[in-house]
C-alpha cells in the first residue's frame, strides 16, 4: 500500500488529463480548433505571454526577500531559473517542482534544503491567501448573479434547506476537527494553523511591504494575462469582468487537478464561460490557446533553465 499510493499520485492525474484531452477534443473538431488558432490575434497572445513572464520573474524576485532573513543572498538568475525549472518538472510529476526548486537552491545557492523548501511552502500560503481574496472579490461583485443562478436552478425552499444543511455540515466538521485526534483532523488543523502562521509571518519580515507588493503584483499579472488573451478571439470581444474572474478561479484550481492543467484547464474555462452564456467553441478554443501559449513558454524557458543552470554556476563551483 505504501508503494501504491505514490504511484497513484503520479498516474491518476496523468490519466485524468488524457481523458479530459480526449473529451475536450471530442467536443470540438480539430479543424475548427486549428481555425481559431489561425484567426487569433497573436499580439494579445504575446502580450499575455509577456505578462506571464513578468509574474514569474516577480515570483523569483519575491523569494529573495524570504532568503534574506535566513542569512542568504541568492542571485536573481538562479531563483528565476529555479522557478521555471519547477514549473516544467510539475508537468511530469505533480508537486515535484517544489522539491526540485528547493534542491536547485541547495545545489547552486547553498541554501539548506529544509529551509529552502520551508520558504517555498510559505510562498504557497501567501498565494493561497491571494486566491481566496480574488474568490471573495468575485463573490462580492457577482453576488446577485450567483444568487439568481442558484434560485433559477433550484426552488427557494430547496436552496434554503441546502444552505442550512451546508452550515450544519460545516459546524459538524469544525466540531469534529477541534475535538478529534485522527490523522485527517490533524492535517486540517495543521493546514489552517499553517495558513494563519504563514500569513502572520509575512508581517514579521524585514521587507514585508516589498513581499506583499510582489505577491499582489504576481496575481494581478495572472489576471491581466488571462484577460488580454481573451482579446485574441473576436468571438469573445467585449467579455465582462464576471466571466474573467470566474474563469480565472476555476482555471487556477484545474492546474492542481492534472499535470500542469493538461485537459482540465480548457474544460474549466468552458464551464465558467457557459455560466455567462458565452459561445462554447470560442470558449474551448480560448482555453486551449491560453494553456498552449503559457505551456510553450514554460517548456522553452524551463528547458533552457535546466540546461543553463550548471553552466551559469560553473565558475562558482570551480572556485
Highest mean pLDDT among 198-207, 221-230, 256-265: 221-230
DSSP letters, the chain, are -TTHHHHHHHHHHHHHHHHHHHHHHHHS-HHHHHHHHHHS-HHHHHHHHHHHHHHHHHHHHHHHHHHGGGT----HHHHHHHHHHHHHHTTTSTTHHHHHHHHHHHHHH---HHHHHHHHHHHHHHHHHHHHHHHHHHHHHTHHHHHHHHHHHS-HHHHHHHHHHHHHHHHHHHHHHHH--SHHHHHHHHHHHHHHHHHHHHTTSTTHHHHHHHHHHHHHHHHHHHHHHHTTSGGGTT--HHHHHHHHHHHHHHHHHSGGGTTHHHHHHHHHHHHTT--HHHHHHHHHHHHHHHHHHHHHHHHHHHHHHHHHTHHHHH-
What local confidence, expressed as pLDDT, does residue 175 receive? Answer: 74
Quickly state the pLDDT bin for 305 (edges 50, 70, 90).
very high
What local confidence, expressed as pLDDT, does residue 60 receive? Answer: 93
For residues 130-149, average pLDDT: 80
Mean pLDDT taken over the chain: 83
**Least confident among 7-11, 53-57, 223-227:** 7-11
- Residue ranges covered by each domain of the chain: 39-314
How is residue 85 written as a grid cell? 525549472
For residues 228-254, average pLDDT: 90
Question: Could you tell me what percentage of the chain is helix, strand and coil, using 3-state DSSP and rounding each to the nearest 5?
Answer: 85, 0, 15
Kindly report the pTM of this predicted structure.
Answer: 0.81
Is the predicted pLDDT of residue 202 greater than 70, yes or no?
no
What local confidence, expressed as pLDDT, does residue 115 receive? Answer: 78
pLDDT in tens, 3-54: 566 666 667 777 888 898 898 888 988 999 999 999 999 999 999 999 999 9
What local confidence, expressed as pLDDT, does residue 11 receive? Answer: 74
pLDDT in tens, 146-198: 666 666 665 666 656 766 777 777 777 767 667 767 776 676 776 666 556 65
**Least confident among 63-67, 159-163, 221-225, 268-272:** 159-163
**Least confident among 43-57, 258-272, 287-301:** 258-272
For residues 123-143, average pLDDT: 86
Give the helix ranges, DSSP H, for 90-112.
96-109
Q: For residue 249, what are the contacts with CB-CB under 8 A and spacing of at least 6? A: 131, 134, 135, 138, 272
For residues 277-282, average pLDDT: 91
For residues 223-242, average pLDDT: 91
What local confidence, expressed as pLDDT, does residue 106 receive? Answer: 87
Amino acid at each position: 500500500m505504501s508503494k501504491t499510493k505514490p504511484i497513484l499520485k503520479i498516474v491518476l492525474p496523468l490519466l485524468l488529463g488524457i481523458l479530459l484531452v480526449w473529451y475536450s477534443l471530442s467536443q470540438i473538431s480539430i479543424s475548427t480548433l486549428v481555425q481559431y488558432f489561425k484567426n487569433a490575434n497573436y499580439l494579445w497572445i504575446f502580450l499575455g505571454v509577456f505578462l506571464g513572464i513578468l509574474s514569474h520573474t516577480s515570483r523569483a524576485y519575491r523569494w529573495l526577500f524570504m532568503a534574506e532573513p535566513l542569512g542568504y543572498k541568492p542571485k536573481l538568475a538562479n531563483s528565476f531559473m529555479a522557478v521555471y525549472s519547477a514549473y516544467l518538472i510539475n508537468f511530469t510529476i505533480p508537486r515535484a517542482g517544489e522539491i526540485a526548486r528547493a534542491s536547485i537552491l541547495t545545489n547552486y545557492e547553498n541554501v539548506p534544503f529544509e529551509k529552502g523548501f520551508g520558504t517555498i511552502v510559505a510562498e504557497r500560503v501567501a498565494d493561497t491567501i491571494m486566491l481566496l481574496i480574488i474568490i471573495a472579490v468575485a463573490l462580492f461583485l457577482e453576488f446577485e448573479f450567483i444568487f439568481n443562478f442558484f434560485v433559477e436552478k433550484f426552488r427557494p425552499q430547496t436552496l434554503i434547506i441546502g444552505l442550512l444543511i451546508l452550515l450544519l455540515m460545516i459546524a459538524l466538521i469544525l466540531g469534529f476537527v477541534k475535538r478529534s485526534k485522527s490523522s485527517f483532523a490533524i492535517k486540517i488543523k495543521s493546514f489552517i494553523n499553517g495558513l494563519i502562521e504563514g500569513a502572520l509571518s509575512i508581517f514579521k519580515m524585514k521587507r514585508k511591504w516589498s513581499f506583499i507588493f510582489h505577491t499582489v503584483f504576481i496575481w494581478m499579472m495572472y489576471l491581466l494575462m488571462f484577460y488580454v488573451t481573451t482579446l485574441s478571439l473576436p468571438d469573445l470581444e467585449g467579455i465582462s469582468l464576471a466571466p474573467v474572474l470566474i474563469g480565472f478561479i476555476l482555471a487556477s484550481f484545474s492546474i492542481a487537478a492534472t499535470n500542469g492543467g493538461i485537459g482540465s484547464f480548457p474544460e474549466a474555462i468552458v464551464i465558467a464561460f457557459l455560466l455567462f452564456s458565452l459561445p462554447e467553441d470560442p470558449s474551448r478554443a480560448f482555453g486551449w490557446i491560453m494553456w498552449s501559449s503559457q505551456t510553450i513558454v514554460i517548456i522553452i524557458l524551463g528547458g533552457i533553465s535546466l540546461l543553463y543552470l550548471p553552466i551559469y554556476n560553473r565558475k562558482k563551483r570551480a572556485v
